[in-house]
Structure 1
Amino acid sequence: MKYLIGILGLLVVFGLAYLASNNRKEIKYRPIIIMVVIQVLLSALLLNTKFGLIIINAIASVFGKLLSYANQGVEFVFGGIANKGSMPFFLNVLLPIVFISVLIGILQHFKILPFIMKWIGLVLSKINGMGKLESYNAVASAIVGQSEVFITVKKQLDKLPPNRLYTLCASAMSTVSMSIVGAYMTMIEPKYVVTAIVINLFGGFIISSIINPYTVTDQEDILEVQTGHKQTFFEMLGEYIMDGFKVAIIVGAMLIGFVALMAAIDNVFEMLFGLSFQHLLGYVFAPFAFIMGVPASEVVAAGGIMATKLVTNEFVAMMSLSDMASTFSAKTLGIVSVFLVSFANFSSIGIVSGAVKGLSEKQGNTVARFGLRLLYGATLVSVLSAIVVSFIL
């Protein structure tokens, strides 16, 4: 039965993407089929094999060790502020982003990350039927983040037509940056975080290939990566420390605002209608939860968490999932966890268009015009990844 529901889910996702396609005659079906098969195989490898367990445990242990180092710095500065035994979210989940950001900066400074991103992107371009720039951008988005990635391709930004720009922005919204992966792993199981990151990479190409199909000519298929101005090692350290701290502060501020707003809206809805806003949204998203493979008895609750992610952000939704984890089956936890690992939410429209506008005002305005279409595609990527995982769980 789960396979029938999974196939139905795939057909619904592809159908919704097809309805939004701007050039249905250009859709290349062969790369799409290949990438869906790759998604299923990678999910099976990571979630259902001993080798996958070794990989997940290795990655989790690396991030666990990094977070322990980060916590030493946090403890040195903020030790004694929190009550003994407590786990303040800002100190234990957000501030370690600063240390992870520093490590990314070091790998960037010594040209290790640009080399990895460029060559993985070149390999992916042979699979996905897209250009080298699009493939590089997807990998880079998953490592350096949805805002910073555009800086690395700013040489080509002004030259890009709207269709290629859409694919770049869709990749940025469908993935998550490596700097906050450690924060996610403190809230949901690491195996779902790693699996989602890997299959979202292909999911972004799949949905973009349907919604926004085009062919890149050999003359257009050029990759120019901007490495930035030359800095000394300690200048770079200072910049990435401040960048990481800004991210932590911004996420913290957004959480304060969104959590407070959700509490207020929930209270108003409970007074007026006798049920919370999240519960009401759960009914709207329940059909999507069903085609993702969530058991019928849990679709409304799961749908509420999915909706929370869309209207607020993934951190708020992960907190809700943590609070309700004991009421969900293991399968539902896995499916919803994978769905949550992306930047597909309304606030990301502003973040992505703002990042592009900071480098090119004309292209930033272009991104703002197709912002809702971007979010539509990125949300379908999250649903697709969850469906793929449902075949394995």
Structure 2
Amino acid sequence: MSIVMGIVGILFVIFLAWVASTNKKLAFRHWKNILLLLALQVLAAFLFLSTTGGQTFILWLANAFDELLGFAREGGLFVFGDLMNTAEGEPANVFLFNVLLPIIFISAIIGILSFTRVLPFVIKGIGFLLTKITGMPYIESYNGAASMMLGQSEVFVSLKNHLPKMTTARLYTLSAQAMSSISLSIVGAFFTMLDPQYVIIAIILNLFGVYVIVHIINPYAEEINDGDVEISTNPEQGKSFFQVLGDYIIDGGRIVLIVGAMLIGFIALIGLLNNLFLLIPGSNLSFQDILGYIFMPIAFLIGIPWDEAQTAGSLMATKLITNEFVAILEFMPLAETLSQKTQAMLSVFLISFANFASIGIIAGSVKGLHGESGDKVAKFGLKLVYGATLVSLLSATIIGFFY
């Protein structure tokens, strides 16, 4: 049954992408690459979920991040002291301390890896491999790898010299890649909130899935050959080690403030809307209940059991209109009441930047590097969220095959 619903889910997501395609006649021109990418998604999910090697790797990575989070806690203890502990000396269950503060330390590690050229080397290597399997030009292949590692604003820095030459179609692909990913700096935060195996699998499935969706929703009318295009893999050139380290630490602090502010604002607004809807005479449905019913058919068609589809739909909608952190916080207390399949599919779906707030972040980031390109991104903002959400739906569908 899972396989049948999985196939139905894949066909459903592909249909939704085709409906919004800019050129329906060209949507399946690269059908061989689409099939290969879908096969790679299934293979990746199988390796991490069903093999000893995959599970061992996930365990090792989770332990490594636990070690890093321990070091991050030392920095927090120095600043916040006993506030980080309960009266019994145990770590306090405070979101700021346990989830947000480690982002600053992870950002510092990324800064060191960037300065030493280790991270750019890895990104360039993965980008080269992607050119062989995606059917996309080199810049799009490189950007897919970079999006998997960097934030949705930082990813465009290395492409700033190429942005003025990008067509609207190519800008859509680059932006969809950024919105369908998560930044390496917040992976540790997600590890503390969700099962690490789903975080890792989501990153990889989204990497392949975004090419499936953009091939269909945003096909290029012409063949593009980037030739000997050279992408800057040393954006920190000319800066000293401590300049780079300081910049990344400050960027990490900025992420903490932004995420914290958005959580306070969005959660408060959702609470207000829930209460306003409950004030309607004869209504016993909250705002999130209604969203759940709207998204319920979508959740069911990608493979989530019908009796859990309304809850899943509510969480999916919450992520779309707010952000992934708000949705994950809503999901955590509900997880144990859901089947293992629904837990896995929702966990994977929630790992991306696909939400309305990201339109402004991506458009603003691109506009800061090249004004005209930023304006183009803003114009296709809604379609960008639509495409990136389809990537998340496709990843969730693939993981459902194994439950």
Rounded to whole Å, the distance in 2 between the matches of 1:286 and 1:35 is 27
Quote the offset at 1:161 in angstroms: 0.8
Deviation at 1:259, TM superposition (A): 0.6
Partner residue, 2:18: 18
- Where does residue 366 of structure 2 map in the other structure? 356
Q: After the TM superposition, which segments of 4 or more aligned residues of structure 1 sit over 3 Å from their partners? A: none
Residue 229 of structure 2 is matched in structure 1 by 222
1:350-391 alpha-carbon deviations (Å, 9 max, x no partner): 000000001011000000000011100000000000000000
Match of 1:236 in 2: 244
In the alignment, structure 1 residue 9 sits paired with structure 2 residue 9: yes
Contact in 2 for aligned 1:174/1:204 (Cα 8 Å): yes
2:210 matches 1:200: no
Give matches, 1:109-258, under 5 Å.
Answer: 109-214=115-220, 215-219=222-226, 222-225=229-232, 227-228=234-235, 229-258=237-266
AA of the residue aligned to 1:249: L
AA matched with 1:218: N
The alpha-carbon distance between structure 1 residues 210 and 203, as it changes in their structure 2 partners (threshold 3 A), is: same
1:241 and 1:44 map into 2 onto residues whose CA distance is 36
* Runs of 5+ consecutive residues of structure 2 not aligned to the other structure: none
Paired position in structure 1 for 2:53: 51
1:135 Cα deviation after fit: 0.9
Structure 1 unaligned segments of length 5 or more: list them. none
The 8 Å contact of residues 155 and 226 in structure 1, kept in 2 or not, is answered as: no
Q: 2:30 aligns with which of 16, 28, 38?
A: 28
Q: 1:137 to 1:241 in 2, by over 3 A?
A: same
2:301 and 2:59 mapped to 1: Cα distance?
30
Which deviates more from structure 2 when the two are superposed, residues 320-329 or residues 21-30? 21-30
1:157 and 1:360 in contact (8 A); partners too: yes
Structure 2 counterpart of 1:295, one-letter code: P
Q: Deviations over 1:108-151 (max 9, x none)?
A: 00111111101110111110000111011111111111100101
Contact 2:120 2:233 in 1 (8 A): no
Which residue identity lines up with residue 261 of structure 1 in the other structure? Answer: L
Does the CA contact (< 8 Å) of 2:8 and 2:302 recur in 1? no
Equivalences for 1:293-308 in 2 at 5 Å?
Answer: 293-308=303-318
Which whole-Å CA distance do the structure 2 matches of 1:193 and 1:3 have between them? 22
Deviation at 1:239, TM superposition (A): 0.9
1:83 deviates by 5.4
Where does residue 43 of structure 2 map in the other structure?
41
Using the size of structure 2 for normalisation, the TM-score is 0.95
Corresponding residue of 1:271: 279
**1:133·1:221 contact (CA, 8 Å) conserved in 2?**
no
Partner SS for 1:172: helix
Separation in 2 of the partners of 1:82 and 1:265?
Answer: 32
Find the counterpart in structure 1 of residue 80 from structure 2: 78
Tell me which amino acid in the other structure corresponds to 2:258: I
Q: CA deviation at 1:24?
A: 2.5
Distance 2:140 2:289 in 1: 38
Where 1:392 maps in the other structure, the secondary structure is: coil
> How far apart are residue 99 of structure 1 and its match?
0.5
Please report the TM-score for the alignment, with normalisation by the length of structure 1. Answer: 0.98
Work out the number of aligned pairs and report it. 393
The amino acid across from 1:156 in the alignment is H
What is the rounded CA distance, in whole Å, between the counterparts of 2:233 and 2:167 in structure 1? 19
Any idea what SS the aligned residue of 2:60 has? helix
CA contact (8 A) 1:146 1:176 kept: yes
